[in-house]
Amino acid sequence: MISVKHLTRTFDEFIAVDDLSFEIAPGDIVGFLGPNGAGKSTTMKMLTGFLPPTSGEVKIDNLSIDQNAKLLQKKIGYLPEGSPVYGDMTVYQFLHFIADVRGLKGAEKRARLSDVIKQLELQSVLNRAVENLSKGFKRRVGLAQAIIHDPQILILDEPTDGLDPNQKHHVRELIRKLSQEKLVIISTHILEEVTSVCNRVIIISKGQLRFDGTPTALQQKSRYFHAVSLTLSYAADISGLAEIEGVADMEIDRITGRVTLFPEPDTYILGRITDYIHHRKLPVDSLYVEQGRVDEVFRRITNGAAA
């Protein structure tokens, strides 16, 4: 369990984190979101004990991180922004070094090294210097060092940054597997990562908490939630769509030609729309119910229009 209460961090006159409070329990995969400069990385550094708060407290398993940093850091795997590593070491040397730092020895050390190398698919680069790796491989090496000691808590800052689509899928599947036994916090700019991996979302902006809930609850805040979007095979008169009972508004994307119909509150309009299309014989090429657009909600929340 991680408990954060009234956490604040200032740098001279700048308030990076402003009275932040939340709790995270085992089994949570938390997507920690915010625009650049929101205070995400600063918060993560305080959660891991690398940066002291100006005020407030962080507790892990009811122990203060300030007073028990060394003990609690043994329970944490941390992937910081940029994956700082010793570039002149080979991948194998670097992982051996981290295993030693984490106190792993003998058969346990060999087993953990073998496991993380296999999990992160690093076999092909073990004898290459870390500084000569691609950004994607450096990120995977960074993730390997974060999990090598099998921590109870994983705190990952942009874990899929620089990875290609296949690598992103592999890492996300690994995170899902690890979350069955661990508490996972992921700081990310990739909104699809939230809906595909996380079961909880925390959004901060200007160092303050703006949203804390499930990805579904976040989608439901979208004006597109349960809206109906359609495209036509060719031009036709669609003005009557806006007059259908229960339709509050209609939006036309002039670039893609997509038409989106927004429902009145607590109204499900799909059936009425399909009846109208069938009756008018409109040349509809595709039609679907929107599940809500997370990017639209994110922009609105972080611009201060919602909380």
pLDDT band at 164 (very low <50, low <70, confident <90, very high): confident
Locus of tokens 């899929």? 160
pLDDT band at 305 (very low <50, low <70, confident <90, very high): very low
Q: How far apart are the first and last CA of the chain?
A: 25
Does the pLDDT at position 306 exceed 50?
no
Average of per-residue pLDDT values in the chain: 91
Question: Buried b / exposed e across 276-295, counting CB within 10 Å, b at 16+?
Answer: bbeeeebebeeeeebebbbe
- Give 70-112 as a DSSP string: HHHHTTEEEE-TT----TTSBHHHHHHHHHHHTT--HHHHHHH
Give the model's pLDDT for residue 135: 83
Instruction: Please state, for a pLDDT cut of 70, what percent of the chain lies above it.
Output: 98
Residue range 170-184, pLDDT digits in tens? 888 888 888 888 899
Give the model's pLDDT for residue 116: 94
Average pLDDT rounded to a whole number, residues 201-211: 94
Give the model's pLDDT for residue 83: 66
Tokens describing residue 49: 């004990």
Does the pLDDT at position 222 exceed 70?
yes
* pTM, entire model: 0.84
Specify whether the CB–CB gap between 176 and 159 falls below 8 A: no
Instruction: Please state, for a pLDDT cut of 90, what percent of the chain lies above it.
Output: 72
Average pLDDT rounded to a whole number, residues 61-74: 93
pLDDT band at 304 (very low <50, low <70, confident <90, very high): low
Instruction: Give me the amino acid identity at 216.
Output: T
Average pLDDT rounded to a whole number, residues 4-25: 95
Give the model's pLDDT for residue 272: 96
Give the model's pLDDT for residue 176: 87
Give the model's pLDDT for residue 161: 79
Residue range 76-97, pLDDT digits in tens? 999 887 766 788 899 999 999 9
Residue range 96-119, pLDDT digits in tens? 999 999 999 999 999 999 999 999
Which residues does residue 153 pair with via DSSP β-bridges, in sequence order? 76, 183
- Give 14-30 as a DSSP string: EEEEEEEEEEE-TT-EE
